[in-house]
A and B are shown apart, each in its own frame.
Chain A
Amino acid sequence: MAKILLHGTEAICEGAIRNGCRAFFGYPITPQNEVPEYMSVNMPKVGGVFVQAESEVAAINMVYGAAGAGVRAMTSSSSPGISLKQEGISYISCARIPCVIVNVMRAGPGLGGILPAQGDYFQATKGGGHGDYHLIVLAPCSAQEACDLTYLAFDLSDKYRVPAMILADGMIGQIMEPVELPPMRPLSDIPKKDWATDGGYGKDRRVLNSLIIKAEELEPHVNALQKTYDEIAANEQRCEEYMIKDAEIVITAYGTVARICKSAAKTLRKEGIKAGVIRPVTLFPFPSKAYERAAEKAEAFLTVELSLGQMVEDVRLAVNGKKPVSFYGRTGGNVMDEEEIVRAAKSALARAREGK
């Protein structure tokens, strides 16, 4: 199929629609307004539902209802709006309702700014709302991946009954790139949900609930959730490894930042420094195995983020003290350029060689 030029947010929408998403609920917030705008036009075309909710809080609860009734449903927002959705996400996680939440991150904290950032990594990967839970978190680095990962997110979410989040930085919200769209999947091809509350009575009735008031029942429920996260960690780690085999210095970043890191790695190689890149595609599960492998050979790691250091904690856990892990970050909506990364990589390698 021929490629077409798409906005990153449109690519997200197409990935959703083409994998059976038939309900979208959202509330305007920059920089993701193109998602609800596109869905308001295109959801009705496939017989789907679009509602502009009165708030992010309402939108996530509409997702709870729709997805709970068995329909593939999605909501989208940006950082402050995602904070508002956390209550609903926690309930959805406990009730084990599959759905997809898109976060086109902007700079924070607070109302922050509307420029690209990656400051919501902790919130996305460590639960975000109250209680013991995780989301499946996917981080696209291009319009193509925005489409493909959103498509995948619906399947993973359904398979494990764990909500999935697309964690995109603001650049994905603004980028335009050629995208090859997957074919439209027929709804009949999507596995039936034998737990959905789609109208039933008596013995056939079903309940979706996150109130488990007895301690002796809540503990096994939370343990079962954890078991699912362990399965996800075992089966679903995804990352891109770029020029890793002989790398002395491993630069690691997710999302569009990783693209700048790849350019930096090429430049470093021209200067005789063997650099490679690990780009996590799944942030939860974190692709620890790739770091464990890389830590056998590389001399040092450099984590690069549009934050003051969030993913770096998971990198350090994965590298587990075997090699030094440095960090370089920008925030406030500023994006580092290739030269800054090259400098940071050289300095990280030099420090490692000096044993600092």
Chain B
Amino acid sequence: MAKVFKKTKMLTDAHLHYCPGCTHGIVHRLVAESIEELGLQDKAIGIAPVGCAVFAYDYFNCDMQEAAHGRAPAVATGIKRCLPDRLVFVCQGDGDLASIGMAETVHAAARGENITIIFINNSIYGMTGGQMAPTTLIGQKATTCQNGRDPAVNGYPIRVCELLATLDAPYYIERVSTHDVKHVLAAKKAIKKALRFQAEGRGYSFVEVLVSCPTNWHMKPIEALRFMAEETSKTFPLGVYRDKSEGRE
């Protein structure tokens, strides 16, 4: 029988630990496929964050470093500056990237480090059990804002793509989603582009990927996807925020 689909060799055979209905695992696959398709597997060094993707070092089939919470862009900077011909990629969630690691996020971008950051935004702290994230939507419930996020008490969600797009250095910034097949395919395109830009030495590339969290949103998987399409992407509009290859500043 002819094989029409197979797993990329950039992923190990380890079982992903993600909850049923979560789209985080899809993003791992998109990153892994992109690296393989670009033929960069021998040069790849990945950095795992703290949060839901903490075990990413078990999944990506290449050299990996596991960073402290929020510090992945600094770790990536250390590697890439010393080994500029390697492909250095980072996966981080919203708590890791936009809360505890915001300084590292902004400064790696401001320096224009030639690295690729894949930002998983599911608007919640997944691994620790559903606490409010820097990207939790107004009104969205979390275990630390049980009546829903109230701007008067909890402030507003942070739009990271928009924030980073105020900096001069970043080469490529795009926000994509995983709520349906069409958007997953678009996400793949963006991720592959970001990695290619790095391989071409063009500079800092950043892809924010909206991901569902049925477990901590207390929704069925299908409902969670609908919520992303209808609510999450209202607060976090999809699109290209910077692409210097197309002259988009």
- Is the CB–CB distance between B78 and A65 below 8 Å? yes
Q: Across the interface, which residues of B come within 8 angstroms of A208, CB to CB?
A: 64-66
Q: Which residues of A contact B162 (CB under 8 A)?
A: none
A57-99 interface mask toward B, CB cutoff 8 Å, 1 = contact, 0 = none?
1110111111111010100000000000001100100010000
Q: How far is the CB of B157 from chain A (nearest CB, A)?
A: 23
**A206 beta carbon closer than 8 Å to chain B:** yes
- Mark interface residues in B26-46 (1 if CB within 8 Å of A CB, else 0): 000000000000000111110
The answer on a CB contact under 8 Å between A200 and B78 is no
A201→B64 CA distance, assembly (Å): 10
Q: Which residues of A contact B67 (CB under 8 A)?
A: 61, 64-65, 91
Residue A197 lies at the interface, judged by CB distance under 8 Å to chain B: yes
Closest to B111 in A: A51
Residue in A57, A58, A63 whose Cβ sees the most chain B Cβ within 10 Å: A58
Contacts of B175 in A (CB 8 A): none
Q: Which of B57, B64, B65, B67 has the most CB of A within 10 A?
A: B65
B66 near A66 (CB under 8 angstroms)? no
Q: How many residues of B contact A (CB 8 A)?
A: 38
B68 contacts A211, CB within 8 Å? no
Indicate the member of B44, B81, B86 with the most A CB atoms within 10 Å: B81
Please determine whether A69 and B82 come into contact, CB atoms closer than 8 angstroms.
yes
- Check A58/B64 contact, CB under 8 A, given A65-B78, A201-B44: no
Contact A66:B45 (CB < 8 A) given known A199-B86, A207-B63, A209-B57: no
B residues less than 8 Å from A211 (CB atoms) = 54-55, 66
Q: Is B240 an interface residue (CB 8 A)?
A: no
Q: In chain A between 199 and 229, which residues have their CB closer than 8 angstroms to a CB of chain B?
A: 199-202, 205-211
Shortest Cβ distance from residue A268 to the other chain B in the assembled complex, whole angstroms: 50
Q: Scoring B residues 51 to 67 as 1 if CB is less than 8 Å from chain A, else 0, what string do you get?
A: 00011010001111111
Using a CB–CB distance below 8 Å, which chain A residues touch chain B? 22-23, 25, 49, 51, 53-55, 57-59, 61-69, 71, 73, 87-88, 91, 95, 197-202, 205-211
A62-B78, A69-B83, A197-B64 given; 7 more Cβ-contact pairs under 8 Å: A62-B81, A65-B78, A73-B82, A88-B71, A200-B63, A202-B61, A205-B64
